[in-house]
Homo-oligomer: A and B are copies of this chain.
Amino acid sequence: MTASRTARERVRAELTREIVEIARRQLATEGAGGLSLRAVAREMGMVSSAIYRYFPSRDDLLTTLIIDGYNALGEAVERADAAAPGGDFPGRWAALCHAVRDWALAHPHEYALLYGSPVPGYQAPQDTIAPRVRDLRVFGAILSAAQRAGALVPPAAPVEADPALAGEAEASLAELMPGVPGDALLRALSAWTALYGWVSFEVFGQFKGAFEDNRPAFDHMVRALGATIGLTRA
């Protein structure tokens, strides 16, 4: 096993884990801006400079929190999709949407870290691009499967898309959503932005409380979006 050749490596891994855990707790309570290396060190009974043995900078700690966040969200989405019947494509889409919203509402500060304003001066490194698209990958799997099953049918009177634009969408999403025609991809992209636009509005408090309970309204939107995409049952 890879488990801890030397005692030093073992305690190092453990301390690293503990730092991240405390940092995530601070992130959940204080928000991204309130994350303080000194506070983490204080809570661990360490001196602030010792933290730098484990994370070379605050941004590096933020990066692991971001990666963890994308993975947590991606896992939640994958679980929700897996729980829905494979051929019920509108249902899988709805499950995906509710998973995103539920996770975001349960972890607002982490969601803000992922989809809110970028932290000033922070540049996301390459390591984040793979976990970042885990949710999109699930969406792509649903779309591709629906397409293969013949359950992805254009809505009644579609707005015709410029063929060049559709081709560009196909090329750029060929890996994530193979086989899906370009105009469907464009409709899917619109639905995707509506999903995250809604969740961001809700998490960031832009919904002044228009609805007593936002969930039914969200659910209605999600169903309508599914129909707009062209998802039907297999």
Chain A residues within CB distance 8 Å of chain B: 30-34, 112-113, 115-121, 124, 129, 155-159, 161-162, 165, 168-169, 172-173, 186-187, 189-198, 200-201, 204-206, 208, 210-212, 216-217, 220-221, 223-225, 227-228
Q: A189-B221, A197-B200 are in contact. Are A117 and B120 (CB under 8 A)?
A: no
In the complex, given contacts A193-B201, A200-B200, what are 13 additional A-B residue pairs having Cβ atoms less than 8 angstroms apart? A31-B121, A32-B117, A116-B204, A117-B204, A124-B205, A158-B224, A162-B216, A169-B210, A169-B217, A187-B224, A189-B221, A190-B224, A193-B193
Known: A172-B211, A204-B115. A32 touches B120 (CB 8 A): yes
Residues of B within 8 Å of A190, CB to CB, are 194, 198, 221, 224-225
Residues in B neighbouring A189, C-beta threshold 8 A: 217, 221
Q: Copies of this chain, how many?
A: 2
Please name all residues of chain B whose beta carbon is closer than 8 Å to the beta carbon of A115 when the two chains form the complex. 200, 204, 206
Residues of B within 8 A of A157 (CB): 155-156, 227
Residues of B within 8 A of A161 (CB): 220
Interface residue SS majority, chain A: helix
**Of B30, B120, B201, B205, the contact of A31 (CB 8 Å cutoff):** B120
Distance A158 CA – B227 CA, assembled complex (angstroms): 9
Asked whether, in the complex, the Cβ of B121 is within 8 Å of the Cβ of A112, the reply is: no
Chain B contacts of A217 at CB under 8 A? 165, 168-169, 186, 189
Can you list the 7 inter-chain pairs with the closest CB atoms, starting with the nearest? A197-B197, A116-B117, A193-B197, A31-B120, A112-B117, A194-B194, A33-B120
